[in-house]
Amino acid sequence: MYMQKITPFLWFDSQAEEAASFYVSVFKNSKVKGMTHYTGEEPSGQKGSVMTVNCETQEEIDYYWEKLSSGGGEEVQCGWVTDKYGLSWQVVPNKWAEWGKDAAGMQRLMHALMQMKKIDVAALERAYAGS
């Protein structure tokens, strides 16, 4: 039997890591695949705190973006979409955690991200690389 994988993104002003650990303990067969920490270059968030605790491919991002924004959902900015029930989701690639390891690259990436609604992985990769 095929089980759909879902990676929820819940926003916490603090205690994101603690909350992620709690939810993983509640939902069977779940795990934290990676965390991104604030570098201090973002417009919000305390340096070193957890930013994101994601989608493998652009196709997955496109799929979830379309499904979550359908039926009255709203496309927001920076990969955020609000579903028809008012729950906000940030649809981001798994590479996010890897990108967070380089502060200069992440700063370029964040600048590019601020110009987007749905995430374009190729554009973020180019921004991260500085090209």
Regarding predicted confidence, which is higher, 83 or 10?
A: 83
The answer as to whether 102 is a domain residue is yes
51 vs 75: which has the higher pLDDT: 75
**Pick from 84, 88, 20, 98: which is nearest to 56 by CA?**
98
pLDDT greater than 80 at residue 86: no
- CATH code (residue 88): 3.10.180.10
> Which candidate, 51, 129, 130, 42, places its Cα nearest to that of 92?
51
In a domain, 106, yes or no: yes
Residue 52 lies in domain: 16-129
12-60 pLDDT per residue, tens: 667 777 767 766 775 567 777 767 777 777 666 667 665 554 777 899 8
3-state secondary structure of 6: coil
Per-residue model confidence (pLDDT) at position 2: 55
> 86 or 60: which carries more pLDDT confidence?
60
Domain count, the chain: 1
Beta bridge partners of 80: 90
Q: Is residue 3 part of a domain?
A: no
Residue 113 lies in a domain: yes
